[in-house]
């Protein structure tokens, strides 16, 4: 498939995709090598929809920020920790993805 604007062949890449607070890693997309614009084929979009349907219900949890040891704390249900393939005592990376979103993921 070619980029209609630059008339060059799109490259198949893996990218991150976010929808309604759900972030998917390693999502296949097409990227224009000239300007970096990304798009999804119908098949890729369907694969994204299916992945979001699998994880979305499990990630829509509301939690109250409490205090533990005088610092802000959030309780994570063990089911959520297991689904994220994390373990108690494991190091995680915590960062602010944007103004209203905190991300917790396994530390590399």
Domain ranges of the chain: 11-59, 66-106
The pLDDT score that the predictor gives to residue 57 is: 59
Topology of the domain comprising 66-106: Pemi-like Protein 1; Chain: D (2.10.260)
30 vs 13: CA distance, rounded Å: 6
d(C-alpha 8, C-alpha 10), whole Å: 6
Residue 95, both tokens: 């960062």
The overall pTM is greater than 0.85:
no
What does pLDDT average to in each consecutive run of 10 residues of the chain (108 residues)?
A: 95 89 88 96 92 70 89 86 86 90 86
pLDDT at residue 22, rounded to an integer: 76
Q: Which of 56, 107, 102 is nearest to 86 (CA)?
A: 107
Local structure of 4: helix, strand or coil: coil
């Amino acid at each position: 498939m070619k980029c209609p604007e630059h008339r060059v062949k799109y490259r198949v890449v893996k990218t991150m995709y976010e929808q309604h607070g759900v972030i998917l890693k390693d999502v296949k997309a097409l990227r224009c090598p000239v300007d970096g614009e990304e798009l999804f084929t119908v098949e890729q979009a369907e694969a994204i929809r299916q992945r979001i349907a699998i994880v979305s219900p499990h990630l829509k949890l509301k939690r109250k920020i409490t205090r533990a040891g005088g610092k802000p704390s959030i309780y994570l249900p063990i089911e959520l920790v297991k689904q994220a393939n994390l373990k108690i005592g494991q190091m995680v990376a915590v960062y602010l993805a944007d103004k209203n979103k905190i991300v917790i993921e396994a530390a590399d």
